[in-house]
Amino acid sequence: MEGVKLRGQSFLDIGFGQGFSLLSAASMGARVVGCDINPKCGTVLDRSLPLFPDLVGLKLDVEIGSILDPEVVHRLRGRVAAEGGFDVVHSWGALHHTGDLRRANDRAASLVRPGGALVIAIYNRHWSSPAWLLIKWLYCKSPRWVQRALVSLLYPVIWLAKLIVTRENPGKKERGMNFFYDVVDWVGGYPYEYMSVPEVGALRELHGFRLLRAISAKVPTGCNEFVFSKTDNKGKVASPPRTTPIR
Ligand SMILES: C[S@@+](CC[C@H](N)C(=O)[O-])C[C@H]1O[C@@H](n2cnc3c(N)ncnc32)[C@H](O)[C@@H]1O
């Protein structure tokens, strides 16, 4: 989010999960709205709130439903109808789990006001991606004991691969789940789609967005991060966020 103005801005987080991005944006002065398909995420968000003491007492605006559902998109749009959309639409690691990445991406983009920013993270395409797709599908179709066996089998493989690629201890983390649950989340994270950096860039640039920044995934099948600006009605980037060059 570096370089994207948040103070006083309307901020939509699609697939907010445990809510840390949403609450961090609120803490930085944004007017936040969250959308997640999983009702449990609403409960978890309420539990995460006390971790941000400056936000105590804040009434959170949350829409539980799928970003693929036109009714949900309509309700979200209604919250910022007077402004022509959200200043910032953010979705970290969620659009590729919806079952229709392209449509979810379009829905997210449609909620950005002209001149606003779209900040997304999407799994990278790698030669091993189709194999992971198969493993994840198998995990979700299998009984418990097969799921456990898959996780036990793949845990050391993922640990070693991550160590070799990042040269950092995979067990040492600053945020998120411990490594075991990361493995379960990865092995069982289905639906699963992926796109390369140029694929995502081309997809959005065709639809009135300009890619301002792309950060490649740390590991080959990790998430690439993107900051796009929606061109204004004259086709210009209205207020480009301060940013570092595209890598
Ligand atoms: C891997 S989690 C990412 C959570 C959070 N963004 C983060 O960075 O920690 C993916 C989230 O997307 C949500 N999700 C999946 N499909 C969705 C959909 N169709 N509409 C809205 N949210 C969805 C899931 O419920 C989950 O909370």
Q: Which atom of ligand 1 is nearest to the CA of 35?
A: 21
Give me the pLDDT at residue 155, please. Answer: 95
Residue to mutate, 64, 71, 91, 98, ligand 1, most ligand atoms under 8 Å from C-beta: 98
From 15-19, 57-61, 227-231, 243-247, the region with the lowest mean pLDDT: 243-247
* Beta carbon of 17 within 6 Å of any ligand 1 atom: yes
The arrangement of strands across the sheet holding 86-92 comes to 61-64, 31-36, 10-14, 86-92, 112-123, 223-230, 209-215
Task: Please tell me whether residue 40 adopts helix, strand or coil conformation.
Answer: helix
Centroid of chain to Cα 174: 18
pLDDT exceeds 80 at position 102: yes
The two structure tokens encoding residue 90: 């953010």
Residues 25-53 have pLDDT tens digits of 999 999 999 999 999 999 999 999 999 99
Closest CA to 75 of 31, 127, 21, 35: 35
pLDDT exceeds 60 at position 245: no
- In the reported structure, the alpha carbon of residue 93 is separated from the centroid of ligand 1 by a whole-number distance in angstroms of 7
Q: What is the percentage of the chain residues whose pLDDT exceeds 90?
A: 79
User: Rounded to an integer, what distance in angstroms lies between the CA atom of residue 112 and that of residue 50?
Assistant: 29
Centroid of chain to Cα 168: 24
Q: Is the peptide bond before 191 cis (omega within 30 degrees of 0)?
A: yes
Give me the pLDDT at residue 233, please. Answer: 64
Give me the pLDDT at residue 195, please. Answer: 97
Q: What is the percentage of the chain residues whose pLDDT exceeds 70?
A: 92
* Beta carbon of 239 within 6 Å of any ligand 1 atom: no
> Can you tell me the mean pLDDT for 125-136?
97
Give me the pLDDT at residue 246, please. Answer: 38
* Beta carbon of 105 within 6 Å of any ligand 1 atom: no
User: Using CA positions, which residue lies closest to atom 9 of ligand 1?
Assistant: 17
User: Rounded to an integer, what distance in angstroms lies between the CA atom of residue 130 and that of residue 137?
Assistant: 11
User: Rounded to an integer, what distance in angstroms lies between the CA atom of residue 65 and that of residue 83?
Assistant: 23
Residues 181-224 have pLDDT tens digits of 999 999 999 999 999 999 998 888 777 899 999 999 988 999 99
* Beta carbon of 93 within 6 Å of any ligand 1 atom: yes
User: Rounded to an integer, what distance in angstroms lies between the CA atom of residue 211 and that of residue 226?
Assistant: 7
Give me the pLDDT at residue 236, please. Answer: 63
Task: Please tell me whether residue 166 adopts helix, strand or coil conformation.
Answer: helix
Residues 104-124 have pLDDT tens digits of 999 999 999 999 999 999 999
- In the reported structure, the alpha carbon of residue 110 is separated from the centroid of ligand 1 by a whole-number distance in angstroms of 18
Residues 144-178 have pLDDT tens digits of 999 999 999 999 999 999 899 888 888 887 766 78
- In the reported structure, the alpha carbon of residue 234 is separated from the centroid of ligand 1 by a whole-number distance in angstroms of 33
Q: Which amino acid is at 110?
A: S
